[in-house]
């Protein structure tokens, strides 16, 4: 088994994440339209990137990883848990950050939204409060605790969305185009946040810079993984192929 | 009603939301049962003291809530002068003012989630007929969250249409807005799933136990 590189700054053995994510013979169709076909993969690396053209199937692949989408055929297992039959357990393990933070912030104020996930996990009030404080501090949102989420900048909203997921302490996090709506400064900031995560991450992106230092990058085309390897090989290959 | 909470650490802030709402309700009943100008003036002064001196709310936070109804209060007073007498008019106006200020103090010192939790608790008997009170609470919170967002989207669509020389036909705006909102709703649904909104068994126990305590 291959073990991924851990976040800079040590903690090499702090998170033992087990068997990783395994997709076997995955095929997915929306109605007649086949969106993914014949995908077999085992993801054990610390940081995995997914790139590919619009409509190639990246988001669908990402959604498979925490059971938001269940494959039409084939299986997806996260640390041995089947997303078809053990979806709750899978979702507790795998956090998901969407492209548009506005769609995933569901409570009116910053602190309330941070409390949402941990509260759903059934944690007691003290632990929920502790996690909220931790996230407010870590992502520079302490001054915005009781502010309407609505009034945050785009960058702050994305940080809040990420913090809302981290507050649930998942072992893995899937990001679907986390920087697409952000300006350059905020893109860098989010890239740094992802970089510093201890958790294993899968990042779908069109921002190829984000993948610097990643352990593995998959290229998706027409519902298939057409290239898979170190970013130094796959990214230039993809760029050349795109013309 | 969207961002009336004024952060603070006063006694009033820390009192449980349910208690505050109960006091507010009791005050309402008391004020409508009584009819002495002294009682009304006393109640108004008391709520002002609680709001400004105890809860340290800025005058503005209270004034904002009273402002929209000034005209109605003036009309009510005028009506009473014509139809009844000065005393009845004074009592009627002071009573409403006292209630308004009291309600303003409660909203300014209570977080939306705390308020929502009380509503969930009040709705808990509905569980017998299959309603999930926590869902009512979540829907309320989400309504407060998404109203400004949808308003923003509407404004942006209006601008885009104006920029293209569109007229101000409402229907023309409704369609793109509906499409945007529906598209977002799909992701919101997924986000709720991803964030464990459906992790029912554990959550229910915790919250019910806490509120019942
Ligand atoms: N819920 C759905 N119902 C029907 N078709 C869908 C659905 N979701 C995605 N599709 C289709 O599946 C294909 C792959 O979509 P997917 O979102 O996975 O692509 P993507 O690689 O993420 O694209 P992008 O870069 O534009 O985000 C697209 O043709 C899309 O139209
Ligand atoms: Mg996508």
- Quote ipTM for the complex: 0.85
In the predicted model, is pLDDT for residue B204 greater than 90?
A: no
Ligand 1: does its nearest atom lie under 6 Å from the Cβ of A52?
A: yes
CATH number, domain at A40? 3.40.50.300
> What is the domain count for chain A?
1
Evaluate if pTM is beyond 0.90.
Answer: no
Task: Express each pLDDT in A58-114 by its tens digit.
Answer: 999 999 999 999 999 999 999 999 999 999 999 999 999 999 999 999 998 899 999
Question: Which residues, 6+ apart, have CB-to-CB distance to B185 below 8 Å?
Answer: none
**What is the pLDDT at residue B126?**
86
Q: A120–B191: do the CB atoms touch at under 8 Å?
A: no
Residues of A with Cβ-Cβ distance to B210 under 8 angstroms: 125
* Sheet containing A172-176: order of strands: A94-97, A172-176, A200-204, A47-52, A216-221, A224-229
Quick check: is A161 in a domain? no
Domain layout of chain B by residue ranges: 11-110, 131-194
Residues of A with Cβ-Cβ distance to B5 under 8 angstroms: 109, 146
Closest CA to A209 of A240, A176, A179: A179
Q: How does DSSP classify residue B85? A: -
Q: Which domain holds residue A228?
A: 2-106+171-242
Taking the mean position of all CA atoms in its chain, how far away is CA A200? 9
Quick check: is A34 in a domain? yes
Question: Is-contact B54 B10, C-beta < 8 A?
Answer: yes
Ligand 1: does its nearest atom lie under 6 Å from the Cβ of A56?
A: yes
Quick check: is A121 in a domain? no
In the predicted model, is pLDDT for residue B46 greater than 60?
A: yes
**What is the pLDDT at residue B166?**
67
Lowest-pLDDT range of A200-204, A213-217, B126-130, B189-193: B126-130
Q: Nearest C-alpha to atom 27 of ligand 1 is from which residue?
A: A54
Residues of A with Cβ-Cβ distance to B142 under 8 angstroms: 106-107
Nearest to B197 among A95, A100, A120 (CB): A120
**Ligand 1 atom closest to the CA of A56, numbered from 1:** 21
Going by their DSSP bridges, the two strands A200-204 and A172-176 should be labelled as parallel
Quick check: is A205 in a domain? yes
**Could you count the other beta carbons within 10 Å of the beta carbon of residue A117?**
27
Mutant choice from A60, A150, A169, A177 vs B, greatest count of B C-beta within 10 A: A150
In the predicted model, is pLDDT for residue A124 greater than 60?
A: yes
Question: Distance between terminal CA atoms of chain A?
Answer: 36
- List the single residue in A with minimal CA-CA distance to B207: A122
Task: Express each pLDDT in B50-105 by its tens digit.
Answer: 999 999 999 988 888 888 888 999 999 999 999 999 999 999 999 999 999 999 99
Most confident of the following: A140-154, B150-164, B169-183? A140-154
């Amino acid at each position: 088994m291959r073990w991924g590189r851990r976040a800079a700054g040590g903690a090499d053995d702090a998170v033992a994440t087990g068997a990783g994510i395994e997709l076997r013979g995955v095929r997915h169709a929306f109605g007649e339209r086949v969106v993914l076909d014949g995908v077999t993969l085992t993801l054990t690396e610390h940081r995995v990137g997914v790139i590919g053209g619009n409509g190639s199937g990246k988001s669908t692949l990402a959604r498979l990883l925490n059971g938001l989408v269940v494959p039409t055929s084939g299986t997806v297992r996260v640390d041995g848990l089947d997303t078809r039959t053990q979806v709750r357990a899978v979702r507790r393990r795998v956090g998901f950050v969407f492209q548009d933070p506005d769609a995933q912030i569901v409570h009116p104020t910053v602190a309330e939204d941070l409390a949402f996930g941990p509260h759903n996990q059934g944690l007691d009030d003290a632990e929920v409060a502790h996690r909220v404080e931790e996230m407010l501090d870590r992502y520079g949102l302490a001054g915005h605790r009781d502010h309407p989420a609505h009034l945050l900048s785009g960058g702050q909203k994305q940080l809040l969305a990420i913090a809302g997921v981290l507050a649930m302490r998942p072992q893995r996090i899937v990001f679907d185009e986390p920087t697409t709506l952000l300006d350059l400064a905020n893109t860098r900031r989010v890239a740094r946040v992802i970089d510093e995560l201890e958790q294993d991450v899968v990042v779908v992106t069109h921002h190829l810079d984000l993948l610097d230092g990643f352990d593995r990058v998959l290229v998706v085309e027409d519902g298939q993984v057409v290239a898979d390897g170190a970013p130094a090989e796959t990214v230039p290959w993809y760029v050349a192929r795109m013309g | 009603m969207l961002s009336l909470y004024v952060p603070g650490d006063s006694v009033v802030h820390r009192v449980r939301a349910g208690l505050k709402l109960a006091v507010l309700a009791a005050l309402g009943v008391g004020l409508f049962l009584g009819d002495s100008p002294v009682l009304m003036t006393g109640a108004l002064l008391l709520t002002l003291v609680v709001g400004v001196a105890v809860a340290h709310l800025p005058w503005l936070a209270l004034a904002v809530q009273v402002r929209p109804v000034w005209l109605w209060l003036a009309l009510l007073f005028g009506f009473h002068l014509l139809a009844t007498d000065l005393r009845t008019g004074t009592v009627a106006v002071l009573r409403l003012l006292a209630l308004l200020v009291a309600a303003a103090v409660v909203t300014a010192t209570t977080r939306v989630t705390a308020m929502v939790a009380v509503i969930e608790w009040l709705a808990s008997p509905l569980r017998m007929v299959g309603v999930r009170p926590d869902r009512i609470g979540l829907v309320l919170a989400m309504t407060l969250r998404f109203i400004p967002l949808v308003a923003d989207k509407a404004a942006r669509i209006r601008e885009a249409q104006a920029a293209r020389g569109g007229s101000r036909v409402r229907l023309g705006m409704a369609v793109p807005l509906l499409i945007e909102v529906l598209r977002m709703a799909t992701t919101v649904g997924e986000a709720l799933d991803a964030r464990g909104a459906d992790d029912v068994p554990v959550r229910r126990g915790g919250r019910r136990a806490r509120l019942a305590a």
